[in-house]
Amino acid sequence: MKCQQCEKPATFHITELTGPEPQEHHLCETCAKTYLSQNDAGAPPPPTLAAVLAKQLKIGQAADELAKLDQRKCPVCGITFFEFRSQGRLGCSHDYVFFEKELTPLLLNIHGETRHTGKRPAHAVQGTDAKTELIRLRREMKEAVEKENYELAAKLRNQIRDLEK
């Protein structure tokens, strides 16, 4: 079989799938390369979390504003916004509330939506705040022990016990 574009033998057989019917092209290597590279410049790859964040911050934040934002620290787990944006992972479930303003456009960019419509836990989720409080108390107790503030540590331990009941 001869190449559709020139006289050389066709070694590449490409079936185009973008239309309603598959369309066959028979091309030599040179013509196939040209053909494929023309079509290669199609859709951009899907966004990665890091790319989306970088783009968003560049557009939205001036340098000193960003520096201030980076210092913001979740009161529950202690993660800073800087840590989140450099690691791409959040520190606790409260971060979704604490960094809501920054996360909303990010979620929109990734999912095109900000509202969950799927499955829900069967039993009431009212306990979540108390559970999140446990994360904060455990972290503060650990810090109190490190600072050898045993009085505070004991007080926090009692609070943890009450919540765990």
Partner 1 sequence: MKFDEFAERCGEWLRGSGPQSDIVISSRIRLARNLAEFPFIRRCNEQDRKGIEQTFRAAIQSVTDWKELINVDVAGLPSIDRQFLVERQLISRELADASGARCVFIDANETYSLMINEEDHLRMQVMHSGLDLESAWEQANKIDTELDKRVAFAFHEKLGYLTACPTNVGTGLRVSVMLHLPALVITQQIEKVFRSLQKMGLAVRGLYGEGSQAMGDFYQISNQVTLGKSEEELVKQVGEVIPVIIDYERQARAFLVKESRKDLHDRVSRAYGILCTAQQISSEETLHLLSSVRMGINLGLIQDLEIPTINKLFIHTQPAHLQKLRGLELETQDRNVERALYLQTHLRKRPGEDPAEHN
Residues at the site binding partner 1, with contacts judged by CB under 8 A:
12-18, 22, 24, 32, 36, 39-40, 42-43, 45-46, 49, 76-79, 87-93, 96-97, 103, 106-107, 110-123, 125, 127-128, 131-132, 134-135, 138-139, 142
Which listed option, Zn ion, partner 1, none, makes contact with residue 28 (CB within 5 to 8 Å by class)?
A: Zn ion
Nearer to partner 1, 22 or 58 (CB): 22
Tell me how crowded residue 52 is: count the other CB atoms within 10 A of its CB.
17
Token pair of 101, please?
A: 């303003």
Output the six-digit token pair for 50: 């890091």
Residue 136 as a binder of Zn ion (CB under 5 A): the answer is no
Angle formed by the axes of helices 128-146 and 150-164, to 10°?
Answer: 160
Cα–Cα distance list, 110 to 9, 50, 52, 56 (Å)? 46, 11, 8, 12
Closer Cβ to partner 1, 26 or 155, answer by number: 26
CA 76/CA 70 separation, integer angstroms: 16
The option from partner 1, Zn ion, none interacting with 113 (CB < 5 to 8 A, set by class) reads: partner 1
CB of 53 closer than 8 Å to CB of 85: yes
Using CB under 5 A as the binding rule, whether residue 95 contacts Zn ion is answered as: yes
Cross-strand partners of 24? 15
Contact between 76 and Zn ion by CB under 5 A: the answer reads yes
- Which one of 74, 144, 153, 156 is in contact with Zn ion (CB under 5 A)? 74
Q: Locate 129 and state its tokens.
A: 């705040």
The footprint of Zn ion (CB under 5 A) covers 3, 5-6, 8, 28, 31, 74, 76-77, 91-92, 94-95
